Chains A and B, each alone.
Chain A
Amino acid sequence: MNTSPITSWEGVSAYFTFADSPTGIAISLAAAVGVYLLLNATIIRHEKASFDKHK
């Protein structure tokens, strides 16, 4: 996957993966938010299961 926004380092500014692709940034950011939400969901599920076992 070619994610490079640059073809040479001459006069480069923002150069990170997907810097020239709003779609790529949006997907990466959505995935990052997803990981954060997954953590919260996992902890809630784990708590419920653990607490139910010790009722």
Chain B
Amino acid sequence: MSLETLQSTFEMHQAMNVEVFYWWCTAIMFMIHTGFLAYEIGASRVKNALTSGMKNILTLSVIIPTFYFFGWWIYNAFPGGLVPGDAASSLPWSLHMGPDVQDMGTGIFFAAFALFGATTGSILSGAVIERIRLSAFLILAAILGSAVWILAAAWGWHPQGWLLTELGYHDVGASGVVHAVAGFFALGVLLNLGARVGKYENGTPMYIPPHNLPMALIGLMMIIVGFFGFLGGCIIFNGGETGWTTIYGNPTNLSAFGFNTLMGFAGGVIGAYLASREPFWTMSGGLAGIITVAAGLDLYYPGLTFVLAASGGVLMPMIGRKLEKMGVDDAVGAVAVHGFCGFYGVVLVGVFAAGFPNVGEGMPSITFSGQVTGAIIMALVGFIPGWGISWAMKKFGALRVPPQVEVLGLDLVEIPARPYPESVPAQAIVENTLKPGQEVA
């Protein structure tokens, strides 16, 4: 075998390894959605269990095609701000946007980014269960998952993103571009959507128990499994001598992520337990911990990661309860877990990792002010469209199901199936609004 043949065989295998890595990251990311499915079904009451599940399944199914239609183009067209650059090769009619023997990168990166986008939709999904119209939710999910978060990613999670080139913004594990954006988008929607019927009595929040807390806990653990695909997909697998880098081009490796992902999970769980003693918040603490440290996952000393994650785990239930007292009925604590911890995580990099250099001539280093500015921008990029679009939907009466439907339960009204037909009577039968055996089309 000649040296040239050997070289070309080696390069082909490197390219294939890149594909294999992101292929499995994408597959593992589906576990996030399996987890959200179980989590949200479990967190719902029996009368809404299947509707929550349908909403979650359809979330993936609308974000994937819309991300193909325009999401991937937004990422490549808008790193400079709000004026699109040349990204013709990312438009859905480009020859790069389909099977191409010579292109072993576009499809696999598209797939990973589409699943990141789907994660934002699932974050919104949990917050709004039991009263949002499925039609309204799917439009909001497509906007969030295929336009809003990816605009933030173009700015702060792209080698030419202006937040990086102007401010030295560092958010390696997407605390800001995915979690803060989705969490604040959800907050904007929740303000217009309002609380579930019965959630507040004379302004005092009432506890609406999940119908299957064990299922919700298992779902949360599945999300953690999926996070390994998500965080793996945040690393750039380069061919040649470069090896692993972050999306910003600085060297890193899976070992760095290995230390800090695990320490983040453990710290978050412990912090949430210390603050709540409650299983739902404790398990959410695992997510909160990872999200809190995700922005600096490549930089932190693991001992510091553990402490920071614990602080996120402690603060998360406090923020959740505070929001609840303020009238924000976030059924799964998504604003606290994703919005707050994502924002907090971006700021923490500015506190504990300021001074780390970025790669490239004239590129600013990480600074506290750059991280705070970036975190605020992420929150606003999420909140403004979330609030604005849901406000318009509310004005047209297209956001929320009618009150009588909410009281009856969405499954009874919308879903031609029952979640537990032989073990748990439908709520309507209990309430004598439907006779046993009577069909509801």
Contact = CB atoms under 8 A, between A and B. Distances in A.
A26 B93 CA distance: 7
Interface of B: 58, 61-62, 65-66, 68-69, 92-93, 95-96, 98-103, 133-135, 138-139, 401-402, 404-405, 408, 413-414, 441
Nearest to A41: B135
B401 A15 contact: no
B361 to A, nearest CB: 34
A50 B92 contact: no
A53 B441 contact: yes
A44 B134 CA distance: 8
Given A43-B135, A54-B404, A16 B414 contact: no
A25 B93 contact: yes
A6 to B, nearest CB: 10
Contacts of B66: 36
B133 to A, nearest CB: 6
21 contacts: A12-B101, A12-B102, A13-B95, A13-B101, A13-B103, A14-B95, A14-B99, A14-B102, A16-B99, A16-B100, A29-B69, A29-B93, A33-B69, A36-B62, A39-B58, A51-B401, A51-B413, A53-B441, A54-B405, A54-B408, A55-B402
B441 A22 contact: no
Given A33-B69, A51-B401, A19 B95 contact: yes
Contacts of B95: 13-14, 19
A40 interface: yes
Given A29-B93, A36-B69, 9 more contacts: A15-B100, A29-B69, A39-B58, A39-B61, A40-B138, A46-B414, A50-B413, A51-B405, A54-B405
Interface string A29-49: 100110110011001101100
User: Main secondary structure on chain A at its contact with chain B?
Assistant: helix
B92 A29 contact: yes
A50 B441 CA distance: 8
A16 B98 CA distance: 7
Contacts, number: 71
A55 B93 contact: no
A9 B405 CA distance: 58
Contact of A43 (B92, B93, B138, B404): B138
Which 6 A-B residue pairs are closest in the complex by CB-CB distance?
A14-B95, A16-B98, A14-B100, A16-B99, A43-B135, A13-B102
B135 A51 contact: no
A15 B101 CA distance: 7
A13 B134 CA distance: 41
A16 B133 CA distance: 38
A19 to B, nearest CB: 6
A47 B100 contact: no
A54 B62 contact: no
Nearest to A39: B62
Contacts of B102: 12-14
Given A36-B65, A39-B62, A47 B133 contact: yes
A36 B102 CA distance: 30
Nearest to B433: A54
Contacts of A29: 69, 92-93
A40 B143 CA distance: 13
A40 B109 CA distance: 27
B33 to A, nearest CB: 18
A19 B133 CA distance: 39
Contacts of B69: 29, 32-33, 36
A46 to B, nearest CB: 7
A54 B434 CA distance: 11
A9 B99 CA distance: 13
Nearest to A48: B135
A55 B65 CA distance: 35
A52 to B, nearest CB: 10
Contacts of B96: 14
B401 to A, nearest CB: 7
